[in-house]
Amino acid sequence: MTDAQNPPAPAPAPAADDADDAGGGGRPVADGPIVEGRGLTVHFYKRVGSRRRTVHALDDFDIAVGPGETVGLVGESGCGKSTAGRALLGAVRPTAGRVLFQGEDVTDLSRARWRAMRKHVQMIFQDPYSALNPKRKIGESVAEPYLVHTRLRGRELESAVIELLEMVGLPAGAAGKYPHAFSGGQRQRAVIARALALRPGFVVADEATSALDVSIQAQIVNLMVELQAEFGLSYLFISHNLAVIRHISDRVAIMYLGRLVEIGARSDIYENATHPYTRALLSSVPVPDPASRTAHIPLTGDLPSPMDPPKGCRFNTRCPVAVDQCFTDRPPLEERSPGHSVACWVN
């Protein structure tokens, strides 16, 4: 899907009965958000036989991340959560919509300007094995951002790298070793050190702990929380793991097939889930406690293809409570209580 050459896309026809604004999803936080996406839409084009098909990866997506805040982004595979994160970092050019960084519109920045922006926004990926060049020593990989963006060299550079490694709990001696000498958890620490080298304000963590064993995952989650407190970082924490998201997030956004279906404070989502998809998702997580066998809301069927998303509400093919309107009109994301917005005609 990444071979998409997005032509200067025709502005997508706004969905049938677009709500005036998208509700409280993009609600600004106290000091004004550090990063904001407004109406972000990303379409990829894929050739199927002789036809060009549109993949609706992300559709009219609103989000705002405040300073020092962690927003969790959850959904099943193919729901567009990674695309959303990449669009906010300028790694994917949106087909429509705007990206704002500290209030400034950065959507149409040139490549060179985006390169300068990278000081402020960073990404941590799932797989620490492919994120580090196996032929480079850990120290070299971690020093890279300094070489690109600063004039630190020589002895000063060395001590900056060692300071970074110590900050993430790696021994100073790690700098001289190659990635193969480290476990997955240690590599992820090195990746975090590199991402934080330039003290970015905003970090997108895309399944950053998903490949790790639980005892190590806990270490990395704790490290990310500590570093956030220390540097006042903002995270967009993308994961399919609803328990990790609950642990780490201040606010949580639930996506389904490219659209936001519910967003709210952690307690809104985990204690007062409103969208039928959120409810089903939460009920399907196996709880590590035999005493709490949850009442399941079974979802039948599979995710429809993003090349051919259902009309109206995209969840209508699997929704246990769908009514006629759900098959014709797209439900707007509406604020139900301060900060808690839901896109559903029924609930």
Partner 1 sequence: MTAAAPAPTPAPETVAASAGPADDASNRLLEIADLTVGFPTRDGTVHGVDRLTLNVGSHERLGVVGESGSGKSVMGLAILGMVLPPGRFMGGSVRWKGQNMLDPAVAERVRGREVAMIFQDPMVSLNPLKTVGAQLRELLRRRAGLRGRAVRARCIELLDMVGIANPAERLRAYAFELSGGMRQRVMIATALACNPELLIADEPTTGLDVTIQDQVLTLLHDLSTELGVSVLMITHDLGVVAQFCDRVQVMYAGRIVERAPIADVFAEPQHPYSLGLLRSVPRVDRDDEELEGIPGEPLDRARLPSGCAFEPRCPESGDRCGQAPPDLAKITDRRWVACFNRSAPPS
Binding site for partner 1 (CB under 8 A): 76-77, 183, 185-186, 213-219, 221-222, 240-244, 246-247, 266, 270, 280-294, 296, 298-300, 302-303
Is 281 exposed, middle or buried, given 0-12, 13-18 or 19+ CB atoms closer than 10 A? buried
User: Which CB atom, from 53 or from 247, has the smaller least distance to partner 1?
Assistant: 247
Q: At 136, which amino acid appears?
A: R
User: Which CB atom, from 125 or from 256, has the smaller least distance to partner 1?
Assistant: 256
- Least Å distance, CB 277 to partner 1, is 9
Ramachandran bin of 105, using left for φ above 0, alpha for ψ from -120 to 50, beta for the remaining angles: beta
Is 30 exposed, middle or buried, given 0-12, 13-18 or 19+ CB atoms closer than 10 A? exposed
- Least Å distance, CB 220 to partner 1, is 9
CA 309, chain centre distance (Å) = 21
Ramachandran bin of 134, using left for φ above 0, alpha for ψ from -120 to 50, beta for the remaining angles: alpha
User: Which CB atom, from 137 or from 279, has the smaller least distance to partner 1?
Assistant: 279
Cβ count near 171 (within 10 Å): 11
- Least Å distance, CB 273 to partner 1, is 11
Q: Which segments of 189-309 are extended strands (E)?
A: 202-206, 234-239, 251-256, 259-265
User: Which CB atom, from 67 or from 304, has the smaller least distance to partner 1?
Assistant: 304
User: Which CB atom, from 305 or from 337, has the smaller least distance to partner 1?
Assistant: 305
- Least Å distance, CB 181 to partner 1, is 11
- Least Å distance, CB 211 to partner 1, is 10
Question: What is d(CA 45, CA 287) in angstroms, rounded to the nearest whole number?
Answer: 39
- Is the dihedral angle over the CA atoms 177, 178, 183, 187 positive or is it negative? positive
- Least Å distance, CB 156 to partner 1, is 30
- Least Å distance, CB 275 to partner 1, is 14
Question: What is d(CA 206, CA 166) in angstroms, rounded to the nearest whole number?
Answer: 23
Q: At 242, which amino acid appears?
A: L
User: Which CB atom, from 160 or from 297, has the smaller least distance to partner 1?
Assistant: 297
User: Which CB atom, from 16 or from 243, has the smaller least distance to partner 1?
Assistant: 243
Provide the token pair at 262. 């519910």
